[in-house]
Chains A and B, each alone.
Chain A
Amino acid sequence: SRASRKRECRIMATVSVCQYHRGGFSFENCKRNALLEADINKLGFSSPAARKTGTTICGVVYKDGVVLGADTRATEGMVVADKNCSKIHYISPNVYCCGAGTAADTEMTTQIISSNLELHSLSTGRLPRVATANRMLKQMLFRYQGYIGAALVLGGVDCTGPHLYSIYPHGSTDKLPYVTMGSGSLAAMAVFEDRYRPNMEEEEAKRLVRDAIAAGIFNDLGSGSNIDLCVITKGKVDYLRPHDVANKKGVRTGNYRYKHGTTGVLAKTVTPLNLEVVEENVQTMDTS
């Protein structure tokens, strides 16, 4: 009968909802996407690409702390998506993180780790350590087996001193005195390998990072625009954005506007329009 069939439909719909009550990533559309991609490629089009940052990021440990540097260009394939994006993310008052790779992945990952670190530090009552952030990041990235495309440079100063880590998308980390990541990492690393020495002064370290990022900007297509710096010392953070405008947009030299008086005026007539009020309707605004 109709009532029993209706009941059966509701049962099937309900049973399917019963099983699924977990949050997190949903893989419902993966098969559909695979099919669509195959069809689209047959027709000759390409599917939309994720926005990458195509970056140069680097960090260096100096005498009193850590200097992090990043460029500010975000690319979407061959087009610049954002001319001035901020790649140095806040993790905690004494820990900052530069992100290369897929822009959304770096954003969300650093925000999640920042929230977790804040909760953790409230629970312990102490300033968070860089090693804690490193461990949280590497465990999350390993859980997702590299599908979260976030290559990070994590730096900060805690009670044990200044620390600098580089974290790869599959979850491996390196603890080093100077690191570079991103598509322009080779250019920046060349500058570091030439001029790095242990226990530099702050000005020298800032100049070194600025030159390394500039090398990445001028020699790599995926990096460009300005240079952002973040100097972290014990108790103080200097977020210099922009530290250096390496690529200024050009100024137009020619002007196509006609000067006043180019066209001669032959005659002038003025006709005043007399408007009379026909109807007035006042509606009071609800400002409560």
Chain B
Amino acid sequence: IVPVTGLCPQAGPYGVQDSLRRGFSSVKNELLPSHPLELSEKNFQLNQDKMNFNTLRNIQGLHAPLKLQMEYRAARQIQRLPFLPSSNLALDTLRGSDDTIGFEDILNDPVQSEMMGDPHIMTEYKLGVL
């Protein structure tokens, strides 16, 4: 069990401890993951990509992952307005996840999330004016 900072910040919307929604705070709660799968799930996509790029580098040489990572970076920049959920179609096609279904498409779909950031604040954050 690895301690990770910033895992579950107890601050609520007003910057102080949110007892009503998150219960009593303790340093241990913020550092240690609450479920053994929490960390591995958070980093799953990253680790998969790393593994695939390593295999690709070993098979085809350095140019293959470099080119692909450049394309990923370009595709990741195609987004809608900051506060609207994006379909990430280009990124999905590159990754090959446009014809697979997993739990990330069924549970907690970001398109159907009940919370939305305030549009003005989100655009200011994105533009760096904040």
Residues 11-43 of A contacting B (Cβ, < 8 Å): 11-18, 21-27, 30-32, 34-35
Can you offer 30 A-B residue contacts whose CB atoms are under 8 A? A8-B14, A9-B14, A11-B130, A12-B12, A12-B14, A13-B118, A14-B122, A14-B125, A21-B113, A22-B104, A22-B108, A23-B103, A23-B105, A23-B107, A23-B108, A23-B110, A24-B102, A25-B103, A25-B108, A26-B107, A26-B108, A27-B33, A27-B37, A31-B29, A115-B101, A116-B101, A120-B99, A123-B99, A145-B36, A145-B40
Asked if B34 is at the interface of the complex by the 8 Å CB criterion, the answer is yes
Contact B121 A35 (CB under 8 A): no
Q: What's the nearest-Cβ distance from chain B to residue A144, in Å?
A: 6
Contact B101 A143 (CB under 8 A): no
B41 contact set on A, CB distance < 8 A: 24-25, 27
Contact B118 A24 (CB under 8 A): no
Q: Mark A111-130, 1 if CB is under 8 A from B, else 0.
A: 01001100110110000000
Instruction: Say yes or no: A144-B23 contact (C-beta < 8 A), given A24-B102, A24-B107.
Output: no
Contact B118 A14 (CB under 8 A): yes
Contact A17 B85 (CB under 8 A): no
Contact B122 A112 (CB under 8 A): no
Residues of chain A whose beta carbon lies under 8 Å from any beta carbon of chain B: 7-18, 21-27, 30-32, 34-35, 108, 112, 115-116, 119-120, 122-123, 140, 143-145, 147
Cα(A143)–Cα(B51), bound, Å? 14
Cα(A7)–Cα(B121), bound, Å? 8
Contact B44 A143 (CB under 8 A): yes
B11 contact set on A, CB distance < 8 A: 12
Contact B34 A11 (CB under 8 A): no
Residues of chain B whose beta carbon lies under 8 Å from any beta carbon of chain A: 8-9, 11-15, 23, 29, 33-38, 40-41, 44, 85, 99-110, 113, 115-118, 121-122, 125, 130
Cα(A9)–Cα(B12), bound, Å? 9
Chain B interface, >50% SS class = loop
Contact A13 B117 (CB under 8 A): yes
Q: What's the nearest-Cβ distance from chain B to residue A21, in Å?
A: 5
A143 contact set on B, CB distance < 8 A: 44
Instruction: Say yes or no: A27-B104 contact (C-beta < 8 A), given A14-B117, A14-B122, A17-B117.
Output: no
Contact B23 A24 (CB under 8 A): no
A32 contact set on B, CB distance < 8 A: 23
Q: What's the nearest-Cβ distance from chain A to residue B48, in Å?
A: 10
Contact B99 A119 (CB under 8 A): yes
